Chain A
Amino acid sequence: MLKGGAVMDVTNAEQARIAEDAGAVSVMALERVPADIRRDGGVARMSSPEKIREIIETVSIPVMAKVRIGHFVEAQMLQEMGVDFVDESEVLTPADEENHIDKHAFEVPFVCGCRNLGEALRRIGEGAALIRTKGEAGSGNIVEAVRHLRHIGNALRRLTILTDDELMSAAKELRAPYELVRIVAREGRLPVPNFAAGGVATPADAALCMQLGAESVFVGSGIFKSTDPAQRAKAIVKAVTHYRDPAMLVEVSMGLGEPMRGLDIASIPEAELLQTRGN
């Protein structure tokens, strides 16, 4: 029931309360927001249990937390702690460069990131219950999330016009499980919800993602790296609900202070891109 809402990254109880009061549908518990992880470098790992418990105890909305790609023990621990969703995330330093977690082996649902339809279907094949775009996390730059949303939408539409006997070849091209490709070609949509993530910094960004077909929006560094997080959080929640109403978007965008500064993607060295992690 997270559709049509905003999921916000929070690093402590006070931020969690701000997010909940603003109307966030869920919070993502982290030690550092993606912009700071990017800035600090080093190895980024699952948050400490104390941090996660602190946030679970503060809010009544669902709490998500991140694990490194392939780190199934971090996931076992989060499941034990009772988080509502595990994000197998490229924002953290991958623990396995060949394989993702076997998500079917868990009770707790997982969300995974993707840049295109093939990647989405591979994650769903592994057991992901929710998909999001990767965007370029911590960049405050919406261009990559837009790229990924458009790739997915475009590929979905193209699949629906193929004949049945062309689907095996399509599955080969997508490097995706054949049975999932069949289902998706018939339905014209993913079998799980698709959220936008990576670079959302303004209400306009959130509404753009919704108009491009995302069903909810993750906001990471965009809230607590801005100058007025409480106001911006409320504005983004409203923008996700009223995403087709320009008058409302103008109204909620007034008096928000400065958004996070962000980065030009071209200025990020290839080796520092987060979206290429996991595939």
Chain B
Amino acid sequence: MSETAQEARIGVLALQGGFAEHVAMLESAADARKDAKVVVEEVKYPEQLERLDGLVIPGGESTTLSVFLCQNGFGEKLRAFAREGERRRCVWGTCAGLILLSDHLDSQKQGGQVTLGGIDIQVTRNAYGKQINSFEAPLKIKAPALFRQAPPPGSTHQAHDECLGVFIRAPGIVRVNSDLVQTLATLDRGSGEKVVGVRQGHLMATSFHPELTSDCRWHSYFIDMVVTYKSSTSL
């Protein structure tokens, strides 16, 4: 493994929304690691993408995000970052970020909005209704790598394969269209298991907000993804 593989640079798209919490949690998860040096930065300009190994797209208003991505070719550069080229850069979308990364979106606003795609799922905006229908609920973690780590101290969820899901005007994954899509987490509120976290290769998406809890496992998992992909493509 070369020297440069030991350092990873992860950006958080900082155009609008809950980016500050993602930055804080990535820095916290990064501090705890001995195996890699992770630098975290806020991303407001397309030129910043080039030097990143990974990007988090936080929750926010997806129409607002679309307005920014339609300017200065930001959307195209983001698509190239996530989808193209030999170097695989990892992207994790939460909430509005999930919408951006999905291949298929229901209920577009008049005029449509920018999408990046990459994860072969169909999503719908505001699946659980308006602000008034935001909620917290326990989730089942389906990816062993995630639940091998310990849950945070003092957490009410004792099981290693559980975490707290915070949902705010959340999108819903209506359908998973391909076997290439791995289910990472599910929610069951009495009407069957719903997929709320997915991964397809170097792309990950969750409809809930781990950055609004004290549980670093998801951010640690994303750092793992970034470091693994970076070291495999630099050999």
Q: Which residues of A contact B (CB under 8 A)?
A: 1-5, 17, 20-26, 59-62, 79, 82-85, 107-109, 234, 237, 240-242, 245
Contacts and interface: CB of A to CB of B under 8 A. Distances in A.
B56 to A, nearest CB: 14
A25 B44 CA distance: 17
Contacts of A3: 16-18, 20, 60
Given A5-B60, A23-B16, A62-B130, 5 more contacts: A3-B17, A26-B61, A241-B15, A241-B68, A245-B44
Contact of A1 (B15, B67, B125, B169): B169
B64 A24 contact: yes
If over half of B's interface residues share one DSSP class (helix, strand or loop), that class is named, otherwise mixed; here it is: loop
A61 to B, nearest CB: 6
Contacts of A1: 17-18, 59-61, 95-96, 168-169
Contacts of B63: 20, 23, 60-61
Contacts of A62: 61, 130-131, 169
Contact of B68 (A23, A26, A82): A23
A4 B15 contact: yes
Contacts of B95: 1
Contacts of A59: 109
Interface of B: 14-20, 44, 59-61, 63-64, 67-68, 95-96, 107, 109-111, 125-126, 130-132, 168-169
4 A-B pairs closest in CB distance: A23-B67, A60-B109, A84-B131, A4-B16
Contacts of B16: 3-5, 23, 25, 240-241
A242 B44 contact: yes
B205 to A, nearest CB: 16
24 contacts: A1-B60, A1-B168, A2-B61, A3-B20, A5-B17, A5-B61, A5-B64, A25-B16, A25-B61, A26-B61, A60-B109, A60-B125, A82-B132, A83-B130, A84-B130, A84-B131, A85-B131, A107-B132, A108-B131, A108-B132, A109-B131, A240-B16, A241-B14, A241-B16
Contacts, number: 81
A20 B68 CA distance: 12
Given A21-B111, A23-B63, A26-B61, A79 B17 contact: no
B195 to A, nearest CB: 21
Which label, helix, strand, loop or mixed, suits the secondary structure of the A interface?
Answer: loop
Contacts of A24: 64
Contacts of B110: 17
B169 A241 contact: no
B61 A21 contact: no
Nearest to B15: A241
A101 to B, nearest CB: 16
Nearest to A240: B16
B131 A20 contact: no
A240 to B, nearest CB: 8
A62 B169 CA distance: 9
B42 to A, nearest CB: 10
Most buried by B among A5, A59, A240: A5
A3 B212 CA distance: 13
Contacts of B125: 60
